Amino acid sequence: MKDRVAVIGIGCTKFGDRFERSYEELICDAAFEAYDDAGIDPAQIEAAYLGTYLPGSGGGKAAVSLADALRLYDRPITRVENYCATGTDAFRNGCLAIAAGTYDMVLVLGAEKLKDRGGRGIPRLGHPLLARGNTAPGLFALAANRYIHTFGLRRETLAKVAVKNHRNGALNPKAHLRMEVTEEQVLKAPIIAWPFGLFDCCPTTDGAAAAIICRADLAKRFRKAPVLVKGAGLAVTSGRPYFDPTFDYLGFRSTQAAAQQAYAMAGIAPSDIDFAEVHDCFTWTEISNIEDLGFCPKGEGGRLEEEGQTALDGRLPINPSGGLKSFGHPIGASGVRMITECVVQLRGEAGKRQVKDPELGLAHNVGGPGAVSCVVVLGRG
């Protein structure tokens, strides 16, 4: 796949409480922005991949919600659902189709309308007994507590992650939570699931994002300097790690495996990455993820955050977009949105949140929690 697939167009809606826009309208907003960015006509799209977790009424377990929204009929459309890695995996599948020579141009789109649901947060779909009462904050908090016990991580360090990502998100006009917070505010916020307070958790969000990808040898017909896909990895481990006595809850094996696949395909080392969009559904998760991605040894992620190495002007900017923490987390849209941020950064179009002279960027999602992870490496053409 390396250097055989190019991203020539991107689109992303404003993320947030989008009560004024329907699921279908969000899809159209993201797709037509991507069409315009690529300078193409929708008729040029040969296939599409939709990433969505809960498409809502009429969406079903199919790709019809994308076809109907965009009137994209009589061509193959595949719906991808893979926990929080849904959007990234949809992108990976589109890239595989291009690299295989099956299609010349593909639309990848992730969309979610979570705020119109009657329930609070994301429903747990699992064992009728073991899943009762557990929540995403509760499950990730169990792992965070094990990590704190093992490495002595402090809540003050978690707060620094929130402060950084809110600062980045405040610079991003499309982010859900566009306000800065102080360390004191984070530490004094109501506790959701110890050690996570309100500002340690990403919000429930509506949004959509899209990417137009094509054969790399055709890309310069559309853009002078297209962004190229360097590598992609996907790994699935047990969805029931609590039955595995060897699982230590200090990180996620799926991320470690997916990252190694992506680095091997790209022919790079973790130290070659200039910035990364990682799955910070909670503040601790960012710390664990940067370790699992190989950016530092296990137990040292907190030090990178404390020293400012992950800030916009740091050695390795993490989540320059504001991350899930500030940008929001519409499940199926998040991975594609991360791809759009990587493209914006590599084009040098990120404005006040621009990373200095990036050559390689990384997008990462993990869900389950920890059952599935997808990692994509992109670079300048």
Catalytic residues, which ones?
84, 329
Which residues on adjacent β-strands are paired with residue 78? Answer: 49
- Is beta strand 275-277 parallel, antiparallel or unpaired with respect to 360-367? parallel
- Contact between 107 and 29 under an 8 Å Cβ cutoff? The reply is no
CB atoms within 10 A of CB 380: 16
Q: Which residue has the tokens 């980045």?
A: 168
What are the start-end ranges of the H helices in the chain? 23-38, 64-70, 86-99, 136-151, 155-170, 183-188, 253-266, 283-292, 301-306, 323-327, 331-347
Q: In 3D, which of 46, 24, 52, 175 has the Cα closest to residue 109? A: 52
Q: Count Cβ atoms within 10 A of the Cβ of residue 233 and give its class: 0-12 exposed, 13-18 middle, 19 or more buried.
A: buried
Task: Give me the residue label for tokens 């809540």.
Answer: 155
Report the alpha-carbon distance of residue 336 to residue 358 in Å, rounded.
19
Q: Which of 166, 109, 147 shows the shortest CA–CA distance to 324? A: 166
